[in-house]
Amino acid sequence: MGRIENAVKALQGARLVNRKDYIQPLSDMGGMGSGSLINRYGNKAAQLEANVGAVWQANEIICIAASNIDIKLRQRNSKGGLDDVPEHPLLRLIEQPNAFLTGRQLRKLHFTYMNMTGEAYELKLDENKEKIPAALHVLPAHTTDFELGKTWDDSKIKNGNKTYTLFDVIRDINPDPRNPYRGRGVIAAAAATIDTDSQAKEYNRRFFANSARPSVTVETAGEMTDQAYERFKQSFSEAFTGTENAHKPIIVEGATVKPFMLTQKEMDFLASQQFTRKEILAFFFVSGAMLGDVENANRSNMDASEYNLAKYAVKPRVEQYLELLNNRLVKLADPSLEFYTDPIVPEDLESKLKEATAAVNKWATIDEVRKLYGLEELPGSQGATMYLPANLIPIDLAGTLPVATPTAEGEPTKAYAGQKKKTLAPKYPTG
């Protein structure tokens, strides 16, 4: 295989017989093999490194929305009801978990680790006699490991050279079906799609920055010596590659220069990238409209995008986190307490209005519908009665029921539907 052919093969990602590459093939993406292999993101460190591009966009919008939801505390009273608790050491703890991070920053880290790796760890520090920690410290998910023991007490959390019990650490996971005691994040599930996007971006970068697929090929009559090959490669690269050297005339002595045309596959490159980006966002349940892709967006589908983000991406994550805090933190301090939030998913106002319009004076009174909107009842019980249209009668009675017709003085007189209206003489002569 000639060196020029080797160069072209290298640019196309093929394996070479020797290592005289014109340009190095794509990187192995974290030791997962050559660029032609799929990166499976098999460890948590590699999964965190994938938090770039469309992945970062999707993760960021979920984490910002989820971490900004206010967490409240309530307590069950003696009558079985729930009372808000506006001030409590538990509330202060989650709003200022340690001296370095605010509550929102800690929760944003928590949701990021859950999205990327499927696992998150928070270390409880210096618990008092009420079982309320003085601080919560984040253990980076990619440096923390879980060791399953025979019992809960035997299981361990390891971070570096330190070992903790499960009572010391609040551990959150999205259980992996292949191993329910380990977590699995979005990155592992979307590995092939994310790697395709990463490789495509690297290909595109090389295409523009270093002519990854050259616009010409140079054919020589015979085999070049190593010295001649290296000299030609260097001089050609310096004179004709890069955007600053575009469109220069090429003069090569003793060789033939042929154009290297883009195929339809390369021409469709941008459309392929857009499809891959949409697929990545779909793994996170995030719409492109939420990230500024408003080419085909309108108010209706923007509202639908926000609704779906809240329902399928934010609400499940926040509720799982609150359930974890209640079981591993709050209940240990006081079983009558629990963290909660206001409704996360916004009301579908359009559907609510349609339902109210259909219900009023059918199966609901005006006051009942007003209550749905937080309005007071109408005065004098006016809204407590259903009102029906007075001009509706059964079809088989049409023309038989008496109806009131006004007289000249405005006094009603009885007539029958279908009868010709009678004109009554005035009570007093006119003129």
pLDDT digits (tens, 9 = 90+) for 353-400: 788 888 888 788 888 888 888 788 888 887 787 877 767 667 676 666
CA 233, 235, 236, 240 dihedral sign is positive
Concatenated DSSP letters of 288-318 = GGGGT--TT--HHHHHHHHHHIIIIIIHHHH
Domain co-membership, 53 together with 136: yes
Segment among 27-31, 105-109, 290-294 with least mean pLDDT:
27-31
Name the average pLDDT for the chain: 79
pLDDT tens digits for 55-95?
999 999 999 999 999 999 999 998 889 999 999 999 999 99
In a domain, 240, yes or no: no
Any domain includes 18:
no
Q: Characterize the bridge pairing of strands 144-147 and 175-176.
A: unpaired
Q: Are residues 332 and 359 in the same domain?
A: no
Strand bridging mode 119-125 / 135-139 = antiparallel
Cα Rg, the chain, nearest whole Å: 36
Domain range for residue 196? 38-213+262-346
Whether 252 maps to a domain, the answer reads no
Q: Are residues 43 and 97 in the same domain?
A: yes
Label residue 29 by pLDDT band (50, 70, 90).
Answer: very low
Based on the fold, state whether residues 150 and 57 are members of the same structural domain.
yes
Q: Are the C-beta atoms of residues 171 and 165 closer than 8 Å to each other?
A: no
End-of-domain residue from the set 331, 346, 361: 346
Domain count, the chain: 2
For residue range 181-237, list pLDDT tens digits in order: 999 999 999 998 998 888 877 777 766 665 544 556 677 777 778 887 787 777 777
The answer to whether residues 83 and 185 belong to one domain is yes
Asked whether residue 356 falls in the same domain as residue 314, the answer is no
**β-pair type (402-406, 412-416):** antiparallel
Neighbours of 119 (CB within 10 A): 24
Give yes or no: residues 334 and 353 share one domain. Answer: no
Burial class of residue 7 in the structure, from the number of CB atoms within 10 Å of its CB (0-12 exposed, 13-18 middle, 19+ buried): buried
Q: How far apart are CA 215 and CA 261, in angstroms?
A: 7
The verdict on residue 7 lying in a domain is: no
Which amino acid is it at 250?
Answer: I
Q: Are residues 140 and 105 in the same domain?
A: yes
Q: Give residues with Cβ within 8 angstroms of 80, minimum separation 6.
A: none
In a domain, 69, yes or no: yes
Residue 114: what are its φ and ψ, rounded to 5°? -65, -40
Q: What predicted TM-score, i.e. pTM, was given to this entire model?
A: 0.67
Q: Would you state the pLDDT for residue 404? A: 59
What are 297-333's pLDDT values in tens digits? 676 777 788 888 999 999 999 999 999 999 999 999 9
Whether residue 368 is found in the same domain as residue 324: no
Domain boundary at 326, 346, 366, which? 346
Asked if residue 109 and residue 52 are part of one domain, the reply reads yes
Residue 235 lies in a domain: no
Residue 235 token pair? 């001089």
* 323 and 338 fall within a common domain: yes
Would you say residue 304 lies in a domain? yes
Please check whether residue 403 lies inside any domain of the structure.
no
Cα–Cα dist 93/135, whole Å: 7
Dihedral angle at the C-alpha atoms of 416, 422, 426, 429, nearest 10 degrees?
A: -160
73 and 53: one domain? yes
